Amino acid sequence: MPRGKKFTAEQIIGKLREAEVGLAQGKTVPEVVRKLGVTEQTYYRWKREYGGPRDGARGSRFAHQLGNGCRCASGRASLSS
């Protein structure tokens, strides 16, 4: 039995942006996720994994998938632990 829809990273980011707009308009999370066609659990997992639209400063999984990666101040990736 299939486990549900598969979304690309770009689609997930779009849905997270839609959710932010709905929440900013005063809708509740259950209302927003119902409109998006996902569960609350999926919404919160996406938000944690991909970061919300305001999450650019911390670097998100989506940013890594796009090849931005983490950079230190010198512009070179830090490999030290």
Task: Encode pLDDT of 4-30 as tens digits.
Answer: 678 999 999 999 999 999 999 999 999
Q: Is the pLDDT of residue 70 over 80?
A: no
Q: Is the pLDDT of residue 81 over 50?
A: no
pLDDT for 46-63, tens place per residue?
A: 999 998 555 454 545 555
pTM: 0.60
* Chain position carrying tokens 């927003």: 32
In this structure, what DSSP letter does residue 13 have?
Answer: H
Rounded Cα gap, residues 66 and 56, in angstroms: 13
Rounded Cα gap, residues 39 and 29, in angstroms: 10
pLDDT of residue 33: 97
Which of helix, strand or coil describes residue 75?
Answer: coil
Task: Give the pair of three-digit tokens for residue 55.
Answer: 């999450």
pLDDT of residue 32: 97
